[in-house]
């Protein structure tokens, strides 16, 4: 089956810094989502991005489906950005999650 | 539009008991998926329902079961609880199978 790898596994940054999170997948996919899991466990939709680039405030995402990767950019980080970021890909009636990137933003 | 709701939010059970968790999807969504999240194993897919039929199943023992009703609400049941079943159980809804998913707040189950 498809493998989904996220990097880095952990990231510690100072407030105000920028970051790039990566999601690689081993085969073609029909869709891709990015989620943020807050400290209370809630998974919040960030982007539904099978291909191309989208922006929402300080966050943006780019998926290059032909090269099997997606990037999530966070600019001017805030402490509320802390948590785990998951990427999930969909193909053949299945959605597969990566193991996530744990982001710590220090005040 | 109301989001995905899950009840109860917290649950404490003892080994050997059974538990039923409920999930109400976003209005109009016909697909409901269930996931188990533990610190050691990450997010693991349990099963997915669409139009009252189980369409997909993860690699979990038969103690884990589910169903979906005609209004798209879903329940999952875990029988003969084990300590290792302690986890956050997340439900997600989508319009159709393998599409953009929206998650509920989760049910945190503790098995003593």
Please write down the HEC assignment for all residues of B60-80: CCCCEEEEECCCCCEEEEECC
* Contact residues of B toward A, CB < 8 A: 33, 35, 37, 42-43, 45, 48, 55-56, 88, 90, 92, 97-103, 105-106, 108
Tens digit of pLDDT for each residue in A1-17? 899 999 999 999 999 99
Tens digit of pLDDT for each residue in A5-55? 999 999 999 999 999 999 999 999 999 999 999 988 899 999 999 999 999
Residue B15 is classified by DSSP as: T
d(CA B74, CA B68): 4
Selection from B10, B85, B96 nearest residue A93 by Cα: B96
How far, CA to CA in Å, does A5 sit from each of A79, B28, B51? 25, 32, 32
Residue B68 scores a pLDDT above 90: yes
Nearest residue in chain B measured CA to CA from A32: B100
| Section B30-51 average pLDDT | 91
Q: How far is B1 from chain A (nearest CA, A)?
A: 15
| Section A76-97 average pLDDT | 92
Residue A91 scores a pLDDT above 80: yes
Judged by a CB distance cut-off of 8 A, whether residue A83 touches chain B is no
């Amino acid at each position: 089956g498809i493998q989904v790898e996220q990097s880095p596994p952990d990231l510690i940054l100072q407030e105000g810094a920028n970051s790039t999170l990566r999601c690689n997948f081993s085969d073609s996919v029909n869709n891709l989502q990015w989620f943020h899991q807050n400290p209370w466990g809630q998974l919040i939709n960030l982007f539904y991005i099978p291909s191309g680039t989208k922006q929402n405030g300080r966050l943006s995402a780019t998926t290059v489906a032909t090269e099997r990767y997606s990037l999530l950019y966070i600019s001017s980080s805030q402490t509320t950005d802390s948590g785990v970021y998951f990427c999930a890909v969909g193909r053949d009636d299945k959605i597969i999650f990566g193991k996530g990137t744990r982001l710590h933003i220090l005040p | 539009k109301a989001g995905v709701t899950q009840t109860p939010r917290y649950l404490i059970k003892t080994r050997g008991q059974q538990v039923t968790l409920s999930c109400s999807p976003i209005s109009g969504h016909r697909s409901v998926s269930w996931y188990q999240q533990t610190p050691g194993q990450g997010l693991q897919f349990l099963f997915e329902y669409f139009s009252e039929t189980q369409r997909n199943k993860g690699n979990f023992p038969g103690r884990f079961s589910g169903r979906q009703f005609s209004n798209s609400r879903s329940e999952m049941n875990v029988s003969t609880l084990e300590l290792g079943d302690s986890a956050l159980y997340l439900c997600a809804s989508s319009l159709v199978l393998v599409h953009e998913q929206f998650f509920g707040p989760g049910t945190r189950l503790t098995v003593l």
